Amino acid sequence: MHLKEIETLLETIAPPSLAEDFDNGRIGLVLDRGNEIRNIAVALDPTDFVLKEAARMGADLLITHHTLIFNPINIISKRLSETLKVAIDNDISIYTMHTNYDKAEGGVNDVLAGLLELNNIIPLTLGRIGEIRPTGAPEFASFVARKLDTNVQYKGEGKIKKIMVIGGSGFRREYIDMAIENNADALVSGEMRHDAIRYAQDLCLIDATHYATEAPAMRKLCERLPVVSVFIEDKPDVRVCL
């Protein structure tokens, strides 16, 4: 298949019009090699490891959630030039689907809600809200850790029934407010900060990491692509020291 056909399919899966304003110019075909697509690599981030692995497997296209270049640049550093060199030397195009894939049906937040076995799911502006059988906060935190195969940290107590999920970094005040306004008992996301803990008051917060809340949807994307597609795992090597 030609790259343009894959691009059209990806824009059907996650229409660019769904993206947040800050994603303008940062999603879609961010590196266009104009090539035929026989093999696709999918990953959360376009890291050096991911690009080298994509080259090793002979991928013609790398689809990522986060873009290789976020802010406009005037100077290309040695590190960036070496990363780009891997892609260009191996004829790998790069396509990024970010907040449009967060919001899209079957995207980041739908996959996350499904993995956590939420029922009666309702789409919100950027996240999803649903229900589980009432359970204690420690038990639900352990369940999240098992389902997402990750370490979690949480704050809160009491029974959990109604849950809001938002993949990535969702512990901002606007999302905490949204969870409270929708009578959620818990908010599951990544990158919990001190100010969020204080602001959330009685709302249970469960930090399941940025990577683990978004990577499953990129893995799931492989099933929706028309050519051989492989998810490249590149989980950050974070260690716990007590």
| Assigned domain for 129 exists | yes
Q: Are residues 178 and 136 in the same domain?
A: yes
Q: Dmax of the chain from CA atoms?
A: 55
Provide the pLDDT for residue 142. Answer: 97
Provide the pLDDT for residue 73. Answer: 84
Provide the pLDDT for residue 237. Answer: 83
pLDDT more than 70, % of the chain:
99
Q: Are residues 56 and 110 in the same domain?
A: no
Provide the pLDDT for residue 171. Answer: 97
Provide the pLDDT for residue 70. Answer: 87
| Assigned domain for 53 exists | yes
| Assigned domain for 119 exists | yes
Based on the structure, what is the number of domains in the chain? 2
Q: Are residues 91 and 112 in the same domain?
A: no
Q: Are residues 187 and 125 in the same domain?
A: yes
Provide the pLDDT for residue 17. Answer: 97
State the pLDDT confidence band at 234, using cuts at 50, 70 and 90.
very high
Average pLDDT over residues 4-10: 97
∠ CA 99-104-110, rounded to 5°:
100
| Assigned domain for 162 exists | yes
Boundary-marking domain end, from 100, 121, 142: 100
Place of tokens 């959620």: 184
Provide the pLDDT for residue 112. Answer: 98
Q: Are residues 121 and 187 in the same domain?
A: yes
| Assigned domain for 118 exists | yes
Domain at 153, CATH number: 3.40.1390.30
| Assigned domain for 72 exists | yes
Q: Are residues 10 and 77 in the same domain?
A: yes
Q: What is the mean pLDDT of the chain?
A: 96
Average pLDDT over residues 106-110: 98
Tell me the pLDDT tens digit for each residue of 85-107: 999 999 999 999 999 999 999 99
Q: Are residues 92 and 122 in the same domain?
A: no
Q: Are residues 73 and 138 in the same domain?
A: no
Residue 71: count other Cβ atoms within 10 Å of its Cβ. Answer: 6
Boundary-marking domain end, from 49, 65, 100: 100
Tell me the pLDDT tens digit for each residue of 112-151: 999 999 999 999 989 999 999 999 999 999 999 999 999 9
Would you give the distance in Å from CA 132 to the centre of its chain? 23
The identity of residue 146, as a single letter, is R
Q: Are residues 185 and 198 in the same domain?
A: yes
Tell me the pLDDT tens digit for each residue of 162-190: 999 999 999 999 999 999 999 999 999 99
Cα separation values, 237 from 49, 66, 150, 240, Å: 13, 18, 11, 10
| Assigned domain for 237 exists | no
Q: Are residues 8 and 96 in the same domain?
A: yes
The identity of residue 59, as a single letter, is A
Place of tokens 């369940």: 143
Q: Are residues 96 and 110 in the same domain?
A: no
Please enumerate in sequence order all residues whose Cβ is within 8 A of that of 185, keeping only pairs 6 or more positions apart, or say none.
158, 159, 160, 161, 162, 163, 203, 204
Q: What's the CA gap between 209 and 227, in Å, rounded? A: 30
| Assigned domain for 29 exists | yes
Looking at the predicted structure, is the pLDDT value of residue 241 above 80?
no
Q: Name the residue range of residue 201's domain.
A: 105-210
Q: Are residues 77 and 111 in the same domain?
A: no
